Amino acid sequence: MVLETDPRAEPETIGHRVKSALSVPAVAFFKLLDVPFRWLQRLLGIGSMPYLFLLPNLAFFGLFVIVPLFLSLGYSVTGGTNLYLGERPYVGGEQYGYLFQCENYTDPATCREDRFWKAIFNTGVFVFFQVGFMVLFSLVTALILNREIRGRGFFRAVFFFPVLLSPVVVALIWKWILLRDGVLNAFLVSMGLDRILFFVDPTWAMFWAIFVSVWAHMGFYTLILLAGLQAIPPDLYEAAEMDGTKKERVFWRITLPLLWPNMLVVIVLALIKSVQIFDEVFVLTGGGPGTATQFIVQYIYTTGFANQVQNFGLASAASVVLGVVLFVLTLVQLAVTRRKDEG
């Protein structure tokens, strides 16, 4: 007896039919594009086609990144408060000179623009601790979530959930918890302890700025590390187990080296995002107490927009300095990645 159909073929369901019906317009669309692209390929040559495909994205990137970058450079060498670049007087490097006018760079109080240097100092402290804790906690969480524990899917969702929240919402929730009459102080009082004015003490304010930021973004970095952990071949662990290798040695000699490319991505992304911190902390602490949690982006925003005299020139000069810092960080990242690839 001869079978009329292949028994291994999946039976055609209504779902399949709907899918193939829906794909008709897409197929028609691509067929329609086929003709002009073949013509373009003949005209430009096959070597130019990748650039053609990159063009839309490049145009978008150029318009919203490269052009503003040059505009910012332009504004930074002008003064006054006019919005249009052409109407602003040229002042050369005066804005930069003003920013860098310091008797002692380690003491912001001796600088003419003390708030800029305080913002730089605060950003440095924030980046150091935030990135450190972010990487540490993300790694620990990823290692735990990679194990066969009960409710693993639930916990993965729980740790990722804060990433989905708007930074303003995150900050408002935590503000509600930490205020003088907030949930945390109510708890402390109910335990017979004294209230702590978290937003009046500079150390507490910085601590909570770091804590909230780590809490809000940790899930994203955990996910990257988790993907890296799952990509490590299990036979390496089996071999190590058969050799009786200690767990700590397995971590340092197998897990961490193989996870390093993902770790590098996490470190660089966290670093860049950390230098750019603004929204969460601005809503949470308002940059206070005093200037204790005022970071560089808030300084730029305040100088350029929140003052009565909107000093776009000085704000742009500070933006250029921030851009240079981020550029250097990216170069370091590229150098480290290249060395790793070559090694």
Partner 1 sequence: MAYFLRKSVAAGVAAFGLMASAALAETELRIAWYNDGIEGEVMRDILDKFEAQNSDIKVTLDVLPYKAILESLPVQLAAGEGPDLARVTDLGGLSGHYLDLTPHVSDPAYWRENFGPFLNWMQPVGEPEQISGFMTQLTVTGPYVNKTLFEQAGVNMPGENATWDDWAAAVNDVAKKLDIPIPMAWDRSGHRVAGPAIAMGANMFDANGEPALVDDGLKAMATTLYNWHQDGTMAKDLWGSVSGSQYLGANEDFANARVVMYMSGSWQIPQFAEKIGDAFDWWAVPAPCGPAACTGMPGGAALVALKTTEHPAEVGKLMDYLSSEEVLNEFYGRTLFIPGHLGLAESGVDFKTDDPRAKHALETFAGAVPGISPVAFDLQGYVYNRVMFNALISRLGEAIVGEMTLDQAFERMTQDVEKEIAEKRRDG
Which residues of this protein are in contact with partner 1, per CB under 8 A? 79-83, 89, 91, 109, 112, 114, 180, 197, 199-200, 202, 285-294, 298, 302, 305-311, 313-314
Judged by beta carbon, residue 98 or residue 220, the one nearer partner 1 is 98
CB 323 within 8 A of CB 80: no
254: amino acid identity, one letter = I
Distance CA 119, CA 294 (A): 5
3-state secondary structure 70-111: HHHHHHHCECCCCCCHHHCCECCCHHHHHHCCECCCCCHHHE
Strand partners, 78: 90
Judged by beta carbon, residue 149 or residue 309, the one nearer partner 1 is 309
Judged by beta carbon, residue 196 or residue 265, the one nearer partner 1 is 196
Judged by beta carbon, residue 48 or residue 307, the one nearer partner 1 is 307
56: amino acid identity, one letter = P
Min CB(80)–partner 1 separation in Å: 4
Min CB(279)–partner 1 separation in Å: 14
Min CB(83)–partner 1 separation in Å: 4
CA atoms within 13 A on the CB side of 155: 14
Min CB(70)–partner 1 separation in Å: 19
Judged by beta carbon, residue 213 or residue 311, the one nearer partner 1 is 311
Q: Is the peptide bond before 56 cis (omega within 30 degrees of 0)?
A: no
Min CB(162)–partner 1 separation in Å: 24
CB 138 within 8 A of CB 217: no
Min CB(192)–partner 1 separation in Å: 17
Q: Measure CA 177 to chain center.
A: 25
Tokens 């969702």 correspond to what residue?
157
Enter the tokens of residue 314.
């000085």
Write the burial class of residue 270 (CB in 10 Å: 0-12 exposed, 13-18 middle, 19+ buried): buried
Judged by beta carbon, residue 119 or residue 134, the one nearer partner 1 is 119
Min CB(169)–partner 1 separation in Å: 17
Judged by beta carbon, residue 84 or residue 154, the one nearer partner 1 is 84
CB 233 within 8 A of CB 255: no
Min CB(30)–partner 1 separation in Å: 41
Judged by beta carbon, residue 132 or residue 202, the one nearer partner 1 is 202
DSSP sequence for 207-218? HHHHHHHHHHHH
Distance CA 216, CA 207 (A): 14
Judged by beta carbon, residue 5 or residue 104, the one nearer partner 1 is 104
CB 273 within 8 A of CB 217: yes
Min CB(278)–partner 1 separation in Å: 13
Strand partners, 111: 102
Contacts of 20 (CB under 8 A, 6+ apart): none
| Of residues 172, 185, 160, 132, the one with CA closest to residue 286 | 172
